[in-house]
């Protein structure tokens, strides 16, 4: 497909995924959400090897690891990721099969985590934002987005007061991609938001704080070391940082002024309060994106936080109770996210997804 055809194709995929997710809006059935996952898995997994700057390069590296059990060169990808891809290829030695599996993992974990927020956010709008702003990244940054999806899904265990289970998932993500180490911030937030004042809790907070300093520094050095080749192309996305902050502020103001203050949890937690954690980390993600101006690709750690955007904006739309306010806010955000996706991923990008084709199209 040429540039215009690709743009229209992505536009239709975004709208269709949101429409399918709307079938699950009542929160009773996941059927629509599952259908959206199948759609995105097909688009992401059955793409031509020319779609995504890393797709073809990783194919060579993955097949080499499958044959010889080692990477072709330093920093190709982590050994655990090589083991994972080899295991999949042992099931079916076809690179497209691997891409389908990876796409399924990424989209499923993202979508089913969004399902957890169905009472506090519009599921269809959350899926719209996800497909427009997060999904395109998975067609190039495949390994990292798997790690991001694992950490994102794992945050549900912190809400269930199961920090050890979160750590297990987080560790798997970090083994696949070192940048996932930044996910320790979610654990820090959990520990400090916990009102327990016991000595053991205090000690855990201190240990986690120390770990944060080392892990954040290590993750940052890994990103700068591995992805310097993206610095020129992807830094253009940083031009959108201030626009993102402005849109966030406008949406927050509108939703707050027309918010539904009725409780949605048994403990009387309001929607705005329930979405506080995602809001804090999404704002942090915007700030982290700006770091690309100073350190090449340091903004990549932002992905672990900006993926909360679907939750945040889905919540804003649901909170805008007045029909006119909800309609105006929804239209404003739809236009913004479509513009953002077009500008950041198709016009000014190093992702290499601006000319889409299916694998059988060459």
From first to last of its 362 residues, what are the pLDDT tens digits of the chain?
888 999 999 999 999 999 999 999 877 889 999 999 999 999 999 999 999 988 998 999 999 999 988 887 766 788 999 999 999 999 999 999 999 999 999 999 999 999 999 988 999 999 999 999 999 999 999 999 999 999 999 999 999 989 899 999 999 999 999 889 888 889 888 877 776 656 666 666 667 667 666 766 665 565 556 555 444 444 444 567 888 889 999 999 888 777 655 545 544 444 445 557 888 899 988 888 876 655 555 567 889 999 999 999 999 988 877 778 788 899 999 999 999 999 888 887 678 899 999 998 86
- CA Rg, the chain, in Å? 20
pTM of the model: 0.88
**DSSP code per residue over 120-178:** TS-HHHHHHHHHHHTGGGGGTSHHHHHHHHHHHHHHHHHHTT-HHHHHHHHHHHHHH-G
Asked whether the beta carbons of 173 and 151 are under 8 A apart, the reply is: yes
pLDDT of residue 232: 40
Asked whether the beta carbons of 127 and 114 are under 8 A apart, the reply is: yes
| Residue 218 counted as domain residue | yes
Identify the domain containing residue 136 by its residue range: 3-355
| Residue 360 counted as domain residue | no
Instruction: State how far the Cα of 341 lies from the Cα of 132, in Å rounded to an integer.
Output: 6
| Residue 65 counted as domain residue | yes
| Residue 36 counted as domain residue | yes
Instruction: Count structural domains, the chain.
Output: 1
Instruction: State how far the Cα of 211 lies from the Cα of 167, in Å rounded to an integer.
Output: 13
| Residue 361 counted as domain residue | no
Instruction: State how far the Cα of 289 lies from the Cα of 238, in Å rounded to an integer.
Output: 6
| Residue 200 counted as domain residue | yes
Instruction: State how far the Cα of 179 lies from the Cα of 144, in Å rounded to an integer.
Output: 8
pLDDT of residue 213: 63
| Residue 122 counted as domain residue | yes
């Amino acid at each position: 497909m040429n540039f215009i055809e690709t743009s229209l194709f992505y536009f239709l995929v975004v709208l269709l995924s949101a429409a399918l997710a709307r079938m699950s809006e009542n929160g009773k059935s996941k059927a629509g959400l599952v259908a959206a996952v199948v759609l995105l898995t097909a688009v992401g997994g059955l793409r031509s090897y020319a779609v995504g700057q890393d797709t073809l390069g990783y194919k060579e590296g993955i097949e080499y690891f499958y044959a010889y059990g080692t990477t072709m060169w330093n920093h190709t990808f982590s050994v655990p990721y090589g083991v994972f891809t080899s295991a999949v290829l042992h099931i079916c030695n076809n690179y497209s099969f691997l891409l389908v599996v990876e796409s399924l993992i990424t989209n499923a974990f993202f979508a089913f985590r969004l399902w957890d927020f169905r009472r506090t956010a519009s599921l269809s709008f959350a899926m719209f934002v996800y497909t427009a702003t997060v999904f395109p990244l998975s067609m190039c940054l495949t390994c990292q987005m798997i790690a991001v999806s694992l950490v994102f899904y794992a945050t549900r265990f912190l809400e269930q007061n199961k920090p050890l289970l979160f750590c297990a998932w987080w560790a798997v993500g970090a083994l696949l991609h070192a940048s996932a180490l930044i996910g320790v911030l979610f654990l820090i937030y959990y520990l400090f938001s916990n009102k327990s004042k016991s000595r053991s809790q205090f000690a855990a907070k201190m240990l986690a704080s120390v770990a944060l300093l080392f892990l954040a520094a290590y993750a940052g050095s890994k990103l700068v070391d591995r992805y310097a080749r993206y610095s020129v192309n992807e830094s253009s996305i940083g031009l959108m940082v201030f626009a993102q902050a402005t849109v966030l502020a406008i949406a927050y103001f509108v939703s707050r002024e027309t918010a539904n203050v009725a409780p949605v949890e048994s403990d009387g937690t309001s929607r705005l309060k329930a979405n506080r954690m995602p809001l804090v980390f999404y704002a942090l993600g915007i700030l982290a994106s700006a770091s690309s101006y100073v350190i090449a690709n340091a903004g990549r750690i932002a992905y672990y936080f900006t993926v909360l955007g679907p939750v945040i904006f889905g919540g804003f739309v649901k909170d805008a109770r007045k029909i006119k306010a909800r309609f105006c806010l929804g239209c404003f955000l739809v236009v913004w996210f479509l513009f953002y996706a077009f500008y950041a991923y198709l016009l000014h990008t190093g992702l290499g997804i601006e000319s889409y084709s299916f694998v059988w199209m060459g």
